[in-house]
Structure 1
Amino acid sequence: MLEFCKQILLKVSFDRKLFKKELTKMISMLKHEEVMLLQVWCLATFGVQYQDIFKEVFHV
């Protein structure tokens, strides 16, 4: 499931609003451990591009 989520985020990364919507949905569907892995992957993959969204969604 985590790999599927990563693929979706890569495909919607062109649109900030859609990216945030999908990321929020994923967090509610994944287990806590998977959310932590997704957070690390998101920060490594998208870095500063969506930093504000990550702070809001992941509560960092």
Structure 2
Amino acid sequence: MASMLEYVKLILQKVSFDRQLFEKELKKALQTLVGDEVKQLKQWCYAQFGRMYRVVLNRCFSRTRLA
């Protein structure tokens, strides 16, 4: 079975055409994932969507406490 992190990545890729939907799903993901998963998601998001959604990523990840 795929991990929750892999599922979240799949969802974010599918909604990446819409900024508001992307931000909504990213916020949901950050409430679901824990510890190291959040760090991995952050790295992946900036690599995948850093150019397109840097402001959204900065906003969402700045509110997240990384352990």
Question: How many residue pairs get matched?
Answer: 60
Q: Which structure has more helix as a fraction of its residues?
A: 1
Question: 2 CA distance for matches of 1:51 and 1:45?
Answer: 10
Alignment equivalent of 1:23, drawn from 3, 22, 26: 26
Gaps of 5+ in 2: none
Offset of 1:8 from its aligned partner? 0.2
Please list the CA deviations of residues 17-50 of structure 1 after superposition, one character each: whole Å capped at 9, or x if unmatched: 0000000000000012101100000000112100
- Choose which of 42, 49, 54 in structure 2 pairs with 1:51: 54
Runs of 4+ aligned residues of structure 1 deviating over 3 Å after TM superposition are: none
What RMSD over aligned residues (CA atoms) do the two structures have, in Å? 1.1
- TM-score, reference length from structure 2: 0.86
What is the TM-score of this pair, normalised by structure 1? 0.95
What is the percentage of aligned positions where both structures have the same residue? 48
